[in-house]
Every structure is written in C-alpha cells, then in structure tokens.
Amino acid sequence: MLRLKGAVQHYAWGDRFALPELLDVTGDGRPWAEIWFGTHPHGLAQIEESLHLPAPSYLADEVGDLPFIVKLLAAAQPLSLQIHPSATQAASGFARENTAGVPLEAPHRVYGDDQSKPEMVVALNTFEALCGFVSAPDAVRQCTTAGARDIAEHVERQGVADTVRAILTSSPFAPPPLPSRAMKKLAEHHDDSRVSVALLMHHVRLAPGEALYLDAGCVHAYLSGVVLEVQGSSDNVIRAAFTKKHVDLPEFLSIANLSPTDEGRVTTERISDLTTAYRCPAPFSVMRHEVNGAFALTANRQHTMLVCTSGRAGPLTRGAAAYLSAGESVSLDGTATLYSVSA
C-alpha cells in the first residue's frame, strides 16, 4: 500500500476552511478547491513515504498512468456552467488545437488532453448542483413559479433545448421577479442574465453519501458543498458561463446535451454489512466502507485507490488516500468511512 499526498488546487471558487479541516491542517488563507489523488500532469500525487527524500517520488513514477483521478472538492461558490467531452470529441478537439498551434498551457486552450472525463460525485456534506435539463412541462412550471412567463412561453413554443440556446446566446428575456434558489446562488457571484438557465435545469440536493453521475455532454454547475469526486483522468472542461476562465460557447453548444434527462442520481446497493456499491455506467467502480473494527480488502482490479473521509483506520486518517496494486491485500483497524475506487 502506497500512502499518498494529494496535489492541492487553489481555484477561486474553493472553500478556505473545509479541506484544511478535513485534513486537520491549518489553512493558509487561500481557497482550497480540490485535492487530486492521481497521475494527471496537472495534479500529480506524491508518495507519502518518499517525502523525506531529496527527490520525492510521484505515484505516476511507480504505477504509470491511472485511468481515473480521485479528488476531494470543496465549493464555497458556484462553479462554471460546463460540460465534459466524450473520448471521440476530446481526441478530435485536442488534435484540432494541436494542428492550429495552440500552446497546451494557453488560457484560451479548450482541450488540454485527448481523454474523456466521465465523473461521479459523492456528497460528504449537503451538496447542491445544477445537473441536466428538466422536461418541458417541468420547465414551464419552474419558470411560472419564478414569474418568468416569457421564458415559459418560449419553452411551450420552441422546447427546452432552443430556450437554453436563447438564454445562453442572446438572453432576450426579462429578469424573473421571483428567482429560484439556484438563480440566487449564481447571482450572488455573477451579474449575468444567463442565470435564468437554472430554471430549465434539475436543482439537485444530495445528503451525505448520495451521489451523482455525469456522462459526456451533461450540462452542470456545482453550487456548494464538499464531495468525493471520481473522474476519468482528464482535465477537459468546456465552459459556457459563470466564470472568468475561457468560455467557448460555440464549442459548448455543439456537443452539449440540451435534451431533458433525469437528474443523474446514482443508485446504491448494500453488498455487505460494511460495504455499499454505487451503480452507474462509469468506467470505474466506487464503494463505501463503514469500518468499525477490523477491515480487510484485496484489490481485484489493476488499480485501486482508498480514501478516508472520516475517522481513522490504521495509517489512513481523515483526508488521506492510498494506492493498492492488483492482488494486494490490506488489513486495517479502526472506525472510519473509506471509499475504494478501482478500474
């Protein structure tokens, strides 16, 4: 078992306190948005046992490229309205920007790699997000409740997808007099008429332990809360609004799924007294283990990551992570919530 030190990302929307408290360290005044446990070059995890050496080693040095990244994410402010591309779209977009000579680190670069980024988030506290679009009748109802009669009429005439495009491109609608909770959260940080798009989306509230799965093209914006996030090993994000980062609305609209969908909640299955599995179409497996005493686990896939989100089990304390190679077994003792991710 390799214990890991994750790479901290200080994005503007991050929480100054939540992740430092989770790791039981003192915050430095900056927003702590994410901690990455993976091998992606934008956030390489280090091996804890090597940190005292003159040249600490990275997980990638020992195991190569993982097919997933595990993150701890804390949002104090809403994230951008965004999507992630499919594998085909990522490969095409990456090659297109390479051919055009766009530097990999250029701020206007859209595709930083050629990989897809399916992702699942598991709430560690109350978590809120906008995720996918509601049916036309539900959109009309939500718009009517907000007093957005002009948007409701547009949905009735043109449908949800066309109304989304109108809001994001031309915003020909009056500000709703009774904005929804999600609209208010967005408007606290963005003076932008496009916050009305929230009236057409699922506003999802997750209790601790509940999860969402977002496949390629799913339009979403995380609003607040702390989650364990598992995703493909990619940093491809295509943004449409609510950010100071680069926005590529034509590319967003060309690949976003604007059709009504369900809200993306993940079903769970209790497979033992200690273990709950999260069932979704992700290319990785996620399980939660409620440890109270002795706990043993054998890695039955090529790559397995363990993350402790509360309590302590052996050397794994709250906020810590470890990697297991195929066939490796570990025995831990304590009281803790552990998540295992494997592929």
Q: Which residues pair with 304 in a beta bridge?
A: 324, 342
pLDDT at 305 over 90: yes
pTM score, whole prediction: 0.95
Q: In the structure, what pLDDT confidence band is assigned to residue 194 with cuts at 50, 70 and 90?
A: very high
In the predicted model, is pLDDT for residue 13 greater than 90? Answer: yes
Q: Residue 198 in 3-state DSSP?
A: helix
What is the percentage of the chain residues whose pLDDT exceeds 90? 97
CA atoms lying within 13 Å on the CB side of residue 221: 27
**Alpha carbon distance 1, 340 (integer Å):** 13
DSSP element (H, E) containing 98? helix 87-99
Tens of pLDDT along 33-77? Answer: 999 999 999 999 999 988 878 888 999 999 999 999 999 999 999
pLDDT one-digit tens code per residue, 136-184: 999 999 999 999 999 999 999 999 999 999 999 988 899 999 999 999 9
pLDDT band at 1 (very low <50, low <70, confident <90, very high): very high
237: CB partners within 8 A, 6+ apart = 80, 82, 83, 84, 117
Tell me, what's the pLDDT at 54? 83
State residue 259's pLDDT score: 96
What pLDDT was estimated at residue 50?
Answer: 86
Q: Where are the alpha helices (DSSP H) in the chain?
A: 18-23, 59-63, 87-99, 136-145, 149-158, 160-169, 181-187, 249-255
Residue 28 has φ and ψ, to the nearest 5°, of -110, 15
Q: What is the CATH topology of the domain spanning 267-342?
A: Jelly Rolls (2.60.120)
Contact 223, 78 (CB under 8 A): yes
According to the model, what pLDDT value does residue 19 have?
98
Q: Which tens digits make up the pLDDT trace of 117-141? A: 999 999 999 999 999 999 999 999 9
79-100 pLDDT, tens digit per residue, is: 999 999 999 999 999 999 999 9
Beta bridge partners of 4: 47, 321
Question: Which residues, 6+ apart, have CB-to-CB distance to 177 below 8 Å?
Answer: 146, 147
Write out pLDDT tens, residues 234-268.
999 999 999 999 999 999 999 999 999 999 999 99
pLDDT for res 261: 96
pLDDT of residue 4: 97
Task: Return the SS3 of 154.
Answer: helix
If one counts every other C-beta atom within 10 angstroms of the C-beta of residue 275, the result is 17
Kindly state the average pLDDT of the residues 300-310.
97
Domain ranges of the chain: 78-265, 267-342
Tally of CA atoms within 13 A in the half-sphere of 269 that contains its CB? 7
| Strand-pair category, 7-9 with 68-75 | unpaired
The CATH architecture that domain 78-265 belongs to is Sandwich (2.60)
CATH topology identical between 78-265 and 267-342: yes
